[in-house]
């Protein structure tokens, strides 16, 4: 993840820097492999593959490297089976998934609530459309809770991960009238 540029030249430089960053590439490829593994459990053997690989997706305050992984469901499996196999998503849990979740549970002081969960809908014909709840805001009585995160890997630099999280919160902070 990188912040958005202030002009076209800076935007292009940040995009190039993101795609060239070895740490970001390694982290992303690890997550693509994790998604392939998750989908492989409920997909026809040999059908799981990336359909889009390492493209830049831009939002109001940040840009991300994005890949899409698809597979053909095995006979008798549904979109809900795919959802169960994929959650919690590796992008918010890490790998190896079970151990990463245990470490997160032992370190995080507050419960995540709906953060890193799933929201979506089932269509009348059985189609399923979902997304991961990230960069979220929730009002609890007189408290407003904003949530965002960053992926921590072996060679993460704490100040860079903090900056990434602040950049991700930028749109939410602006939406609720807080200074970014």
Per-residue confidence (pLDDT) for residue 180, from 0 to 100: 64
Q: What is the model's pTM?
A: 0.82
- Cα end-to-end span (Å), the chain: 17
130 assigned to some structural domain = yes
pLDDT, tens digit, 9 for 90 and up, residues 55-75:
999 999 999 999 999 999 999
Sheet order of strands, 2-3 included:
2-3, 62-70, 49-58
- In this prediction, residues 143-155 reach a mean pLDDT of 87
Domain of residue 114 covers 2-175
Per-residue confidence (pLDDT) for residue 111, from 0 to 100: 86
- In this prediction, residues 96-105 reach a mean pLDDT of 91
180 assigned to some structural domain = no
Position 179 pLDDT exceeds 80: no
**Active site (catalytic) residues:** 64, 91, 115, 135, 151
Q: How many residues does the chain have?
A: 180
| Distance (Å, whole) CA 49 – CA 79 | 17
Which of 141, 75, 88 lies closest to 114, judged by CA?
88
Per-residue confidence (pLDDT) for residue 7, from 0 to 100: 97
Number of domains in the chain: 1
Q: In Å, how far from its chain's centre is CA 55? A: 14
Per-residue confidence (pLDDT) for residue 52, from 0 to 100: 96
Which of 128, 130, 57, 134 lies closest to 91, judged by CA?
134
CATH code of the domain covering residue 156: 3.60.120.10
Number of other CB atoms surrounding residue 31 within 10 Å = 21
User: Distances in Å between the alpha carbon of 29 and those of 36, 90, 115, 143?
Assistant: 10, 11, 23, 37
- In this prediction, residues 144-150 reach a mean pLDDT of 90
| Distance (Å, whole) CA 132 – CA 141 | 24
Per-residue confidence (pLDDT) for residue 15, from 0 to 100: 97
pLDDT, tens digit, 9 for 90 and up, residues 9-27:
999 999 999 999 999 999 9
Position 125 pLDDT exceeds 90: no
For the chain, what percent of residues have pLDDT higher than 70?
Answer: 99
- In this prediction, residues 112-140 reach a mean pLDDT of 88
| Distance (Å, whole) CA 128 – CA 120 | 7
Q: What is the DSSP string of 39-98?
A: HHTTB-TT--EEEEEEEEEE-SSEEEEEEEEE-PBPTT--HHHHHHHH-S-HHHH-SSHH
59 assigned to some structural domain = yes
């Amino acid at each position: 993840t990188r912040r958005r540029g202030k002009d076209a030249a800076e935007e292009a430089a940040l995009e190039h820097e993101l795609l060239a960053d070895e740490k970001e590439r390694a982290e992303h490829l690890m997550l693509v492999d994790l998604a392939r593994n998750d989908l492989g459990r409920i997909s026809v053997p040999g059908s799981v593959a990336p359909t889009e690989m390492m493209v830049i997706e831009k939002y109001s305050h940040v840009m991300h490297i994005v890949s899409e992984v698809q597979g053909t469901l095995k006979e008798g499996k549904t979109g809900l089976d795919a959802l169960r196999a994929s959650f919690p998503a590796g992008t918010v849990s890490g790998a190896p998934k079970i151990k990463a979740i245990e470490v997160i549970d032992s370190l995080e002081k507050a419960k995540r609530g709906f953060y890193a969960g799933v929201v979506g809908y089932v269509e009348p014909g059985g189609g399923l459309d979902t997304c991961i709840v990230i960069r979220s805001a929730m009002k609890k009585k007189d408290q407003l809770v904003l949530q965002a995160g960053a992926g921590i890997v072996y060679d993460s630099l704490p100040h860079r991960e903090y900056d990434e999280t602040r950049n991700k919160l930028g749109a939410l902070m602006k939406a609720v009238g807080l200074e970014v």
